[in-house]
Structure 1
Amino acid sequence: MAFPPKLTLYFSPKACSLASHIALEESRLLYEAVSVDIRAQENMSPAYLKINPSGAVPALGIGDAVLTESHAILTYIADLAPESGLLPRPGTLARVRAHEWMNWISGTMHVTYRSIFRSQTYAGDEPHAIAAVREHAKKKLAKVLREVEDRLGTSDYAVGGQFSVVDAYLFVFYTWSFDERIQTKLPDRPRYAALAERVFARPAVRRVLARERAVRAYELPPSFAQALSEAQ
């Protein structure tokens, strides 16, 4: 009988690795979670650069192998635990829609937030260029959030009526919209908010948030932070 490989998730509190952390907890697979705090620059340590030379999180240790990039990791976790229903089955339109969502989240949504939080990644060291990138990204973020709202439609979850890794991925960026660095009014997003509430209500999600915030108590939407505080 084949046993699943040893899984080690390298995450940073509040980073996009939160989605992979949630997926692993939901999968009920055995795994170890190792904090690599980006704000403390632990991701640039020689030890971590041996694991992922780009210094990015998440990274997933799979036995002696390492997998990077959220989309790939989320897909791998879902397929390693198919009974969890974290992705629709291969060959279905729903499965393709899930990959469509994750590509868009990674290539558009994440990039927009990064342009606000880490404008120098795209602008270099020129202050005027940094300010211009940040302001453009803030305007674009409003458009991105409206697109999420439209894409969600009337379904309870992003892909049909069942929770999937797509919802975990979207949840990350919903929490990011409350970051103090945004400093701009964002459009109303009732469908997105309702989705985030459903995701937050899941016990696995609350366990992961509590675990990560024990490493660094990062910001959450006020109602989420209060619920976690009351549960302690």
Structure 2
Amino acid sequence: MPDIEFFHSPNTRSSGVRVLLEELGVPYRLHVLNMRAGEHLEGAYRAVNPMAKVPAIRHGEAVVTEQAAVYLYLADLFPEAGLAPAPTEPDRGTYLRWMVFYGSCFEPAVIDRHLKREPGPRAMSAYADYDSVIARVKEALTPGPYLLGERFSAADILWGGALGWTTGFGLVEPAPVLTAYVERIRSRPAARMVAAEDAQLAEAHQAAASA
């Protein structure tokens, strides 16, 4: 199987993909981009992702960009890790729903609310309204412990990170069910390791920018 090349910058949406790779237990080649120095805007990386965003992966001839697509691709690529229900499993629909719900509903709703933008008429809004989005997330995590009940999946890595940064920056009001879920995901060894290494990378990037 060809190597996985992973394009990453610390403390960004790609951090969750690095956690996923560690949870999968598979080798990968890490390409770190210093976004403070604008490396993601240079031609070499735009050839990988013209949108100049992370994460991105290259696997053989395949290049995958967009956060949820990268999660879906990797979790399906290594089914033995058990982080994605198979298409024949009943949980597959719920898993796909939450993978897509993040980018299509949750993040737009959170950003619109933070920027004090109206979602637009309900018939034109991708997410309907903010309160409904948050209510659905809380329902999905009750009683938990994970989005698929007792089964931990790649979707939890995505959502654990997303809820961590949105509640941490005050974009989403903390609630006991959300806080407990974030801590549950953050306490996993892979998440702790990536957080520590990201902190070191971010410090190095800051030092380079200040030099």
Does the alignment reach a TM-score above 0.5?
Answer: yes
Q: Which string of whole-angstrom CA distances, capped at 9 and with x for unpartnered residues, describes residues 89-123 of structure 1?
A: 2222211111100111011222234557xxxxxxx
Structure 2 partner of 1:149 = 138
- 1:192 matches 2:178: yes
- What is the one-letter code of the residue matched to 2:187? A
- What is the one-letter code of the residue matched to 1:213? A
- What is the one-letter code of the residue matched to 2:145? D
- Helix, strand or coil for the counterpart of 1:55? coil
Q: Which runs of 4+ in 1 moved over 6 A?
A: none
Superposed counterparts of 1:1-232, under 5 Å: 4-115=1-112, 134-136=115-117, 144-180=133-169, 182=170, 186-216=172-202
Q: 1:142: how far off?
A: 5.9
**TM-aligned CA distance change 1:212 to 1:192, over 3 Å:** same
Supply the distance in 2 between the matched residues of 1:43 and 1:112 (Cα, whole angstroms): 26
Single out whichever of 153-162 and 188-197 deviates more from structure 2. Answer: 188-197
RMSD: 2.4
Identity %: 29
Provide TM-score, normalisation by structure 1: 0.74
Q: Across the two proteins, how many residue pairs are aligned to each other? A: 194
**TM-aligned CA distance change 1:179 to 1:44, over 3 Å:** farther
